[in-house]
Amino acid sequence: MKVVITGGTGFLGLRLARVILERGEICGASGAPEPIDKMILFDAVTPPERPAGLDERVEIVSGDIADRDLVMRLISGDSLSVFHFASVVSAGAEQDFDLAMKVNLDGGINVLEAARAAPGLTRVVFTSSFAVYGGSALPDTVSDDTKITPMTTYGMTKVVNELLLNDYTRKGFLDGRGARLPTVIIRPGKPNKAASGFASGVFREPLSGIDYDLPVKNETRMAVSGYRTIVDGILALHEAESDAIGDDRSVNLPSITLTVAEMIEGLQRVAGDRPLGQINAVPDAAIQAICDGWPGRGQSPRADALGLPADKDLDSIIRAYIEDYADA
């Protein structure tokens, strides 16, 4: 079978690709495991060097997700699964509404239409976000059935895609599944335009001996999950029986709740004698406002019922990052 990952050369896309290649097979349209013959990693740009861990089954394609013809050519074939990561992220979407509409909405519809046109019942996993929640009536803790009232352009585009995924699945065009992601930590490399980027930067830079300017208050609270758990959860959602997911195709992935102060305490605890860069308070009102509009706690009863994985604690997330990146 063929696997297509949009946003495939990004951090999560690449990690998922490597996990799938190592497994060698995933569930096809029939629900039975099928070997991976072909994988396409589709992204806006081509990496300067081919990423490690990709074998001859993998083709990297660069292009515009809003190009319907290109997306239709890539997402095609008799046995197919799609993982849709490509998106303009939170702060970037606030800064450029038109680009967010083009990439997140037009691109999302292109992916769904291509999967609809493909033979069989293509499984499509869409990565949504806790940013679907927001507003003045936002409860302290959100769950799968909390009303979705996004207060950012990014969150709005995620909600629209969730609703489209529901309807395309209801009509039998495809087999859609939506993974609502909490803030994913600890992302390596250079920061992107996500407002939540500080939740990785507050670990990443100090562990590299680099001082870090923290844009939010220490009492800022977030629902987070480690990247290993997120990738495993997305793949587990793909493998789940369709009937077990139900009519509402998007589920909250499991998370743990932390304040920024608790993040810093965890960093110092796990680092031990390791030299750390200094963390400096440099408030950014725009980033603080976006984060204040997000839920601080998440519940995931439907993901729990499906058996999706959850992080044990913050320390294990930090240790995984040190093993995978800081000391690699």
Which of 220, 205, 218 is CA-nearest to residue 294?
220
**Identity of residue 121:** L
With beta carbons less than 8 A apart as the criterion, state whether 5 and 21 touch: no
Q: Tell me how far apart the alpha carbons of residues 29 and 133 are, in angstroms, rounded to a whole number.
A: 32
Return all residues near 38 (Cβ < 8 A) that are at least 6 apart. 1, 2, 3, 57, 59, 77
With beta carbons less than 8 A apart as the criterion, state whether 154 and 89 touch: yes
Q: Write down the H helix ranges in the chain.
A: 11-23, 68-74, 90-95, 97-100, 107-117, 153-170, 198-207, 227-239, 242-245, 260-271, 285-292, 301-306, 314-321
Known catalytic residue at 154: yes
What is 230-292 written as a DSSP string?
Answer: HHHHHHHHHHS-HHHH-SS-EEEPP-EEEEHHHHHHHHHHHHTTS--PPEEE---HHHHHHHH
Phi, psi torsion values for 190, nearest 5 degrees: -75, 145
With beta carbons less than 8 A apart as the criterion, state whether 72 and 64 touch: no
Catalytic residue IDs: 154
